[in-house]
Amino acid sequence: MNPNAEPSLLSFIFNQLYLVCAIGFFVSLKFLASPTKARLGNILGAGAMGLATLLTMIEHPPTDYVGVLLSIVVGSVIGVVFAKKVQMTAMPQLVAIFNGFGGLASVLVALAEMFKYIFGNAGNFSEFFLVTSWMSVVIGAITFTGSVIAYLKLQELIPTKPLMMPGQKFITAAFTLAVFMGAYAVIAAPDALLIWLLVTVVAFFLGVLLVIPIGGADMPVVISLLNSYSGLAAMAAGFVVNSPLLIIAGALVGASGIILTRLMCQAMNRSLTNVVFGAFGNALVQTQTGDDKPLKEFQPIDVALQLKNANQVVIVPGYGLAVSEAQRNLRELVDLIKTFGVKVSYAIHPVAGRMPGHMNVLLAEADVPYEELFDLDSINSEFESTDVVIVVGANDVVNPSARTDKTSPLFGMPILNADKARSVIILKRGRGRGFSGVENPLFTLDNAHVLFGDAKASIVKVINAFKELA
């Protein structure tokens, strides 16, 4: 767009339509915060983005329509295939790789713009243009390689534990310094192509260095942070190509990503520095308890008996529910219990599972009525009057040591008070620990019993046991 051009009626109309798209993004985000409106929010956001793309193509006709349309078709096909095929437990990886490509797009947009000016001998670059181009390249490149490492760790294609090499901190500090010096260099010599390429390469390496020392289990928080970076890179790219809509969209992604990162850290009682510098990571690779305190075992028939005779039951779903994909069987069991006049509620911890809203999404998939889901604050006072709590593949979110054990990495994290119920039944496969890698004293309490096995298989067995009771 030529900034000196007279504003015409046509550009006024375009600007109003861009504003409609921006409002669409805001409303979409608002809707995404509500489980009942999230689907509509998604459609609205995609619609606003579609309209924005169309308007941009009309306002600035591309020289190669075929290339643009082909990219849209290929991108859409990849999106649909991934959305249909990817397992819920692999969602963080998918988000990581999407963030990564968002970052890479910002790098390419900023470099393309710079190349256009350098090879077009445009001369006068404003400092603002140079700084935003530098930001777009650097943040985008860090987001790309950081996200690729996060993806590889989560997919277990490289070791998930924190990887450190001798002198890592100094190397990272040197690369960070080099990237910042790059900002001075591009302002001093804006048309030096080599400097731009060097800054890009150094930022690509920095992305690897920043994420590689973080433990795989901390990756969901890092992904949320990288998501925020991808937004900031897009925002910077918006300044580079003078697109207010891209600036707004990028700022929204950047802000929502950082809010989410903060919420996840708060719910895990961790500081962002603690996550980013991997202090917690080393403990996380340990997944077996090794302790031999006796666990009292229940058989499916014992579970069915307790559930049938209860007045009030609370279900606590966790990561294991997602692993075993037992949400539909769980719903079936709950429907069955309800036929005996039992009141059943689901207690949803904000960080249960491995991504924000993980349990809400799983249970929505099984058409569990939203009114039956209660968050931590609203259900915690209910446990004392609850007859039976069924913990389905959850561990850390019901670990009572978070209240008392100052040495526990979970100390201070708000937990669901499952231990306060009259009886607690835990569905898990063995003695595996949760994400934090720490022991859970809940499992050995007097009122606790374990039904061993994959959650889905155990639930099916309990449903069958009800038939024996009939």
The residues annotated with a catalytic role in the active site are: 396
Residues 6+ apart with CB under 8 A from 52: 18, 21, 245, 249
- 91 is a site residue for ligand NAP (CB under 6 A): no
How do beta strands 373-375 and 343-348 pair? parallel
Residue 171, Cβ neighbours under 10 Å: how many?
Answer: 14
- 435 is a site residue for ligand NAP (CB under 6 A): yes
Closest to ligand NAP by CB, 48 or 222:
222
As measured in angstroms, the least distance from the Cβ of 423 to ligand NAP is: 19
Q: Which of 221, 314, 376, 462 binds ligand NAP (CB under 6 A)?
A: 221
Give φ, ψ of 315 to 5 degrees: -100, 130
Do the beta carbons of residue 225 and residue 214 sit within 8 Å? no
Over its C-alpha atoms, the chain yields an Rg (Å, rounded) of 26
- 324 is a site residue for ligand NAP (CB under 6 A): yes
Q: Among residue numbers 229 through 288, which ones bind ligand NAP (CB under 6 A)?
A: 264, 268
> Rounded to whole angstroms, how far apart are CA atoms 396 and 377?
17
- 436 is a site residue for ligand NAP (CB under 6 A): yes
Using the contact rule CB under 6 A, the part of the chain among 250-258, 295-303, 368-376, 432-440 near ligand NAP is 432-440
Q: Among residue numbers 162 through 181, which ones bind ligand NAP (CB under 6 A)?
A: none
- 67 is a site residue for ligand NAP (CB under 6 A): no
Phi-psi region of 412 (alpha: psi -120 to 50; beta: other; left: phi over 0): left
- 150 is a site residue for ligand NAP (CB under 6 A): no
> Rounded to whole angstroms, how far apart are CA atoms 108 and 100?
12
Closest to ligand NAP by CB, 179 or 210:
210
Q: Which of 434, 439, 448, 451 binds ligand NAP (CB under 6 A)?
A: 434
As measured in angstroms, the least distance from the Cβ of 323 to ligand NAP is: 4
- 396 is a site residue for ligand NAP (CB under 6 A): yes
Judged on CB neighbours under 10 Å (0-12, 13-18, 19+), 150 is buried
Q: What is Dmax (Cα atoms) for the chain? A: 85
Query: What string marks each residue from 367 to 386 as x (binds ligand NAP by CB under 6 A) or -?
Result: --------------------
Do the beta carbons of residue 95 and residue 226 sit within 8 Å? no
Can you give the binding site for ligand NAP, defined by CB under 6 A? 220-221, 264, 268, 318-320, 323-324, 351-356, 358, 393-397, 427-432, 434-436, 454-455
